[in-house]
Structure 1
Amino acid sequence: MAKAFASAGDTAEKAVSFTEIGEGLYAFTAEGDPNSGVIVGDDSVMVVEAQATPRLARKVIECVRSVTDKPITHLALTHYHAVRVLGASAYGAREILMSDAARGMVAERGEEDWKSEFERFPRLFKGFEEIPGLTWPTATFTGRMSVFLGGRRVELLQLGRAHTAGDIVIHVPDQNVAFTGDIVEDRSACYCGDGYFADWPRTLEAIRALAPDAIAPGRGGALTGSRAVGQAIDSTSDFIASTYRPVARVAHAGGTLRDAMEACRAECDPKFGDFAIYEHCLPFNVARAFDEARGIHHPRIWTAERDAQMWGALQG
């Protein structure tokens, strides 16, 4: 390749924040790195998103222990990506929860995704030697699932395809707080390499219909208050539309992937160029949008080899 992916040069450790966004509800954030969520129930704890490695998971556990000594019994994973799930073994949770569709994606492309993301994000995979293997759920569902942490009810909701085919949202009704995974981002680029551009806006509107008082997005800061929540949903929707529209125009006109990249940059750079992981996500987003515009409905599997081929085509 002519040069490495933008994320390969991102070597600086990020400062962690642990923010209460509702009673007993916390957002673990790290300057645009993948977020996690913590839900403290009457007798136990659910963590949302495992992180990429046990090393990073222990940072989440340290924050949990700063607010409660209750056992971590449940781990909810919003989708299958390696940076979200491979730290699962550190928690010792008795239940690991995913949608049926997400489990299918682990089986279909989990190994390839692990190898691909390992090459893309070397900093996040420090300590990878501790990862025991792919993360498999102990229970799955389609549509909706309720989990009780003592008397506290947690709703796992499959609202539609967006970032992947298996996305879920975790909603805590007693505080009206949602953990959205990468369906919603805050001043961070959306990674669309496994995404569904046509479906994503409808899924965002389904989250808006919950009217949450606070959300922990997939990346970026915790969001409290209806105004901040609405702005993040609007910004994410604009990012998806602004990425797909120019790429589809080029694809329908018979242009090349490199032409599509230039058109996407012309529209997105002025609005989103300073967002976290923007440069990293851009080539994958353009490649997926180009495929969808040409009628490839189900995202193709990313491998380290395909990453290199795509990047070579964009570099000319």
Structure 2
Amino acid sequence: MSRWRYERGLEDIGNGCFAYLQPAGTWGLSNAGLVTSDGEALLVDTLFDLKRTREMLDAMRAAAPAAARIGTVVNTHANGDHCYGNALVEGATIIATRAGAAEMDEVPAPMLAMLMRQARSGAAGALGEYLVHCFGAFDFDGIAPTPPTRVFDGELTVAVGGKEVRLIEVGPSHTKGDLLVHVPADRVIYTGDVLFVDATPIMWAGPVGNWLKACDILLAADADVIVPGHGPITDRAGVRAVRDYLVYIRDEARRRYDAGMPPADAARDIALADYASWSDAERIVVNVHTLYREFSGGKLPSPGPIELFGLMAELARRPR
């Protein structure tokens, strides 16, 4: 049993480090982090809409005086549930990997707001119902795109008061530009969506080998507390579970690819076994398509996001 609560709100993990948690960690319900030292503060990710980001910032300011003026925001990757609230941290330096920053232009909040209006109108049918299921709790109207102001490749070390914070690029893996946030002195790592705990990982970009290497970095790191992008605070056991899932899905998909089975059929055919209890199991559709693209050396294109969400909607309705 974890020593950390998994309840909505701010969790003090010690030495001026905090995790902001959003159960149950499903679509859009991401975690964030706060690192403080000597009156300075660094925020790890913002949230999916302005209301939730304001609530998070209010909780942080109430718990840590340094959060009254956050000097640095780190976006772990480009998905909106980790960066759409950037505009509310005025005056901060916003850091991301170069690849992550470029990817933020692909699905801006106004595009998602328009898509959700169509989904709620009923015009999109079963796909619309699934999109409302995934994203209906969020308000994307009025979100101003606020891109990073500093980008890097590889690794970057920043100072927060007397603390050193290491930013380690591990993408492309979950997305094109993922990074880890390591606070060595406090033995804490914030992983972004390199880790989903008790929720099914989704591999938008790949290759899977990069994601496995990211897990190996986490397992080798001198860290006691690991804050995932979604789900409860974990330790190396949570990392191993994600790594094992990725290996299992890779191997199962490879067998079906070699047998000539189409990717959508393979996603339906793979038994989830020990992972069936994880939320959002239908994400296997995306994972298999991404793996097939990798197996083919890029010759087999993956469907676009709308088609993939349609396939996930179909699989989510089917008993497994």
Report the counterpart of residue 126 of structure 2 in structure 1: none
Query: How far apart are the structure 2 equivalents of 1:57 and 1:299?
Result: 36
Match of 2:21, SS state, is strand
SS at 1:219 equivalent: coil
Q: Quick check: 1:239 aligned with 2:245?
A: yes
- Residue in 1 aligned with 2:209? 198
TM-score under structure 2 length normalisation: 0.81
Q: Secondary structure at the match of 1:249?
A: helix
Unpaired segments of 5 or more residues in structure 2? 1-5, 120-130
Matches within 5 A, 1:106-255: 106-107=104-105, 109-111=106-108, 115=112, 120=131, 121-126=134-139, 128-133=140-145, 135-223=146-234, 229-255=235-261
Q: Which residue of 1 aligns with 2:127?
A: none
Q: Which amino acid aligns with 2:281?
A: Y
Q: Find 1:29's aligned residue among 21, 46, 55.
A: 21
Identity over aligned residues, as a percent? 22
Show CA shifts across 1:215-237 (max 9, x none).
101111112xxxxx221111000
Cα 1:286–1:129 change in 2 (3 A) is same
Which region of structure 1 is more displaced relative to structure 2, 180-189 or 302-311? Answer: 302-311
Alignment match, 2:78: 80
1:56 aligns with 2:52: yes
Post-superposition offset of 1:289: 2.2
| Residue aligning to 2:305 | 303
Counterpart residue identity of residue 275, structure 1: W
Displacement of 1:201 in angstroms is 1.0
Give, in whole Å, the separation in 2 of the partners of 1:92 and 1:153.
23
Instruction: State the structure with bigger RCO (CA 8 A, min sep 6), 1 or 2.
Output: 1
Pair 1:292 & 2:294 matched: yes
Counterpart of 2:12, as a letter, is E
Q: Report the TM-score when normalising by structure 1.
A: 0.82
2:99 is equivalent to residue 101 of structure 1 = yes
Conserved? CA contact 1:261–1:314, under 8 Å:
no
Rounded Cα–Cα distance in structure 1 between residues aligned with 2:299 and 2:247: 17
Residues 231/185 of structure 1: CA separation in 2 closer, same or farther (3 Å cut)? same
SS in 2 for 1:275: coil
Matched, 1:283 2:289: no
Cα gap change, 1:110/1:308 in structure 2, threshold over 3 Å: closer, same or farther? Answer: same
Would you say 1:261 and 2:272 are equivalent positions?
A: no
Compared CA separation, residues 248 and 105, structure 1 to 2 (3 A):
same
Helix, strand or coil at the partner of 1:238: helix
Q: Deviations over 1:288-307 (max 9, x none)?
A: 22322222289858433554
CA contact (8 A) 1:83 1:124 kept: no
Unaligned runs of 5+ in 1: 1-13, 224-228
* Corresponding residue number in structure 2 for 1:5: none
